[in-house]
Amino acid sequence: LGKCLLSPIVLAAYAYNRSLSELGPGGRGEDEPGVLCQLFAFLMAFFGLAPTLLLLAMALECWLSLGHPYFYRRHLTRRLGATLGPAAAGLCALFCALPLLGFGAPMQYCPGTWCFIRMAGGGPSQLGFPVLYASLMGLLVLAIVACNVSSMRHLYGMARRQPRRGPAPAAAPRMEELDHLVLLGLMTVLFTICSLPLIIRAYMGAFAADFNENADLTALRFLSVNSIVDPWVFIIFRTSVFRTFVRRLCRRL
C-alpha cells in the first residue's frame, strides 16, 4: 500500500520535472513545503513505523506460540489478532500526524522528489519529533530482535531434540524447524540492517547538527529496501531448490 501511494507521486514529479512543493503548493509560509510534500512526509513516516509495529506483533505471536504455548492458547484469539492491525495503524497515524500539528516539521529533500520529517537544522520543537520517532523505532527494533532471537533459540532446541538419523518421517520435523530457524534469522538480520541507518541519522542530525541530505537519502533507501526485499527472501526461501541447498549446508555444518 505504501509503494502504491508514494510511487505515483515521485513518478509525477519526474514526469513534469517539478518538485513536490511545486506540484502541490499551498504551504502556510514561504519556507513551509506544499501540501503534497506534507502528505508525502506523513506517508513516509507512517509506512516506516506501521509495518514495524505489525512486525513486532508477529514476532510476539511467534515467541508466545513457541515459548509459552499454554498462555498463547488461552489468551490469544482470532478476534484479538483481527483488532491489532487497525489499532496499530490508528496509533501510528496519530503519532505521524504530529508534524502537521506543529511538533516537528516536514521538509523537502534534494532533488525535490521526496519529503520526510526534518532531521537536522531546526529548533528544539522541530528536532524533538525525529528524536522521538527514532527512539520509538529503536525500541521496536530491539523488541523484534529479542523476540526473534528467543524464537530461534526455541526452534533450535526443538530441532536438537529430534532424532538426528532415521527414516524420512522422523527426520522431517527437525529439518522443518531448521528451515524456519534459517528464514527467521535471515529476515531478522535484514530488518535490523535496513532500520538502523535512519535511527542513526535522526540522532546525528539532532545532537551533532549533521545536515547531510545524501546520507538522509541513503537511510531512507535502506528503510525502503526492507519492505521490497523481505517478501522476495520469503518467496525464494520457500522454493524446494533453495531449501534443499540450505538443508545440505546445515548437514555439513
CATH classification at residue 196: 1.20.1070.10
In this structure, is residue 200 part of a structural domain?
yes
**Angstrom distances, CA of residue 223 to CA of 9, 61, 133:** 18, 24, 14
Q: Is residue 59 part of a domain?
A: yes
Let me know if residue 128 belongs to a domain.
yes
What pLDDT shows up at residue 173? 47
Residue 85 in domain? yes
- The answer to whether residue 167 is domain-embedded is no
**144 is written with which cell numbers?**
523484534
For residue 166, is it within any domain?
no
Per-residue model confidence (pLDDT) at position 175:
58
Give domain status of residue 168, yes or no.
no
Tell me the residue ranges of DSSP E strands in the chain: 106-109, 114-117
Give the pLDDT confidence score for residue 58 in this predicted structure.
81
Q: How many domains does the chain have?
A: 1
C-alpha cell belonging to residue 186: 535471515
- CB-based contact 66:137 (threshold 8 Å): no
CA 117 from chain centre, in angstroms, equals 17
- Domain extent, residue 78, equals 1-160+174-251
pLDDT, tens digit (0-9, with 9 covering 90-100), for 198-242? 888 888 877 776 677 777 788 888 877 877 787 777 777 766 667
Q: Provide the 3-class DSSP secondary structure of residue 153.
A: helix
Closest by CA to 4, choosing from 35, 47, 45, 41, is: 47
Is 213 a domain residue? yes
Q: For the chain, which ranges sit under pLDDT 50?
A: 170-173
> Are 58 and 146 within 8 A, CB to CB?
no
Rounded distance, CA 169 to CA 171, Å?
6
Tell me the pTM: 0.74
Question: Phi, psi (5° rounding) for residue 224?
Answer: -75, -35
Residues in Cβ contact with 92 at an 8 Å cutoff, skipping those fewer than 6 apart: 46, 49, 50, 53
